[in-house]
Amino acid sequence: MKEKIFIALTFDVEMTQRFHQELTEIIPNIAFFLAKETIQKATWMVRADRDIQKRFGAMDWVFQNHGKLLEKLVAQGHEIGWHPHCSYGYQLDDPGTLSNVLKDLEESWSTLNKANIRTVRMGWGIMHNRIMETLDRLGLTVDSSSIPRPAYSWDKWNGLWQDGLPTPYHPSPKNYKKTCNHHLGILEIPLSVTHVPASYDSMKVMRYLNLAFKPGNLFQPIKKWIADNNYLVTITHPHELDDIKFAGAKHDLLSYSMDSFRENIRNIIQFCEIAGKEPVFFTLNEIGENFSFPGSASMALS
């Protein structure tokens, strides 16, 4: 029997002002393509927060106005998660800032009561023991905010996940980056992070595996990841696949192209075949429901 590799495709729906067709065109296009590839499971992180309220009039504006799309995705087998961006500067060590973030989280969550959401990814991956404790207390069962990589000088949220465990674990209430015997109920599922080269790098940079990256840049890192690991958690921002809005835009790493996204997905499938592994797609919450992670750093999948 073939060894299995568990794959979670995740999408952060950012609702950047310029990209409303993110919901009307890009997401349906992605879902249509995934269905064609017989991939019916991905996790879509949808914004509901103070910033969305300021710009659209309600924290849960996306859920109110695009509920049909979200329901359709769920009916197909996908999961809808929550993606709150709390923009209060970068000083979570400041008690005033932190308490504003916590207050906004509670208020935004209260607008999603009926949405049956179990999974969350904090905007920019911001985290603090009090935030993790709050997410757990609100009833969320999976967090996928972790980007376990070194602190880089250009990171606004420098080092928030530095030295964090790279595989799923139940966080310690005293240190969200580690586990312990008295861990929280919520499960942390980190994004897969590895060395992805860009032409402008002056050093070896660890990056998450963003399927909007150019296939040429992702080819080797993904191939090696699949050969070395039995799980893969990718991230993609749908608006980064908007080839009409970004027509003519040049970036050394981002493709701004649906074709590149499709190529990256097909590469993943092909690399699994080369590695002799059977790809099994899961939503993040399904990983939490189907496997136990007894608070250890070792991956209990398989």
The residues binding Zn ion (CB under 5 A) are: 12, 123
Q: How far is CA 219 from the centre of its chain?
A: 20
Residue 106 CB, shortest distance to Zn ion, in Å, is: 19
- Residue number, nearest CB to Zn ion: 123
Tokens 């659209």 locate to: 56
* Closer by beta carbon to Zn ion, 158 or else 220: 158
User: How far is the C-alpha of 39 from the C-alpha of 32, rounded, in Å?
Assistant: 10
* Closer by beta carbon to Zn ion, 132 or else 301: 132
3-state helix, strand and coil shares in percent for the chain, rounded to the nearest 5: 35, 15, 45
Sign of CA dihedral 220, 225, 227, 232: negative
Residue 13 CB, shortest distance to Zn ion, in Å, is: 8
* Closer by beta carbon to Zn ion, 54 or else 174: 54
Residue 124 CB, shortest distance to Zn ion, in Å, is: 6
Phi and psi at 198, nearest 5°, equal -125, 150
Residue 12 CB, shortest distance to Zn ion, in Å, is: 5
* Closer by beta carbon to Zn ion, 123 or else 164: 123
- Residue partners of 87: CB distance under 8 A and separation at least 6: 50, 51, 123
Residue 55 CB, shortest distance to Zn ion, in Å, is: 14
Tokens 């609100």 locate to: 138
* Closer by beta carbon to Zn ion, 120 or else 184: 120
Of the candidates 242, 254, 248, 269, the residue with the CA atom closest to the CA atom of residue 214: 254
- Residue partners of 209: CB distance under 8 A and separation at least 6: 191, 192, 193, 194, 196, 218, 221, 222, 225, 232, 233, 234, 235
* Closer by beta carbon to Zn ion, 122 or else 165: 122
Where does the chain have alpha helices with state H? Answer: 21, 27-36, 50-56, 61-65, 67-76, 95-110, 129-138, 215-228, 258-274, 284-290
Residue 186 CB, shortest distance to Zn ion, in Å, is: 19
Residue 84 CB, shortest distance to Zn ion, in Å, is: 9
* Closer by beta carbon to Zn ion, 12 or else 242: 12
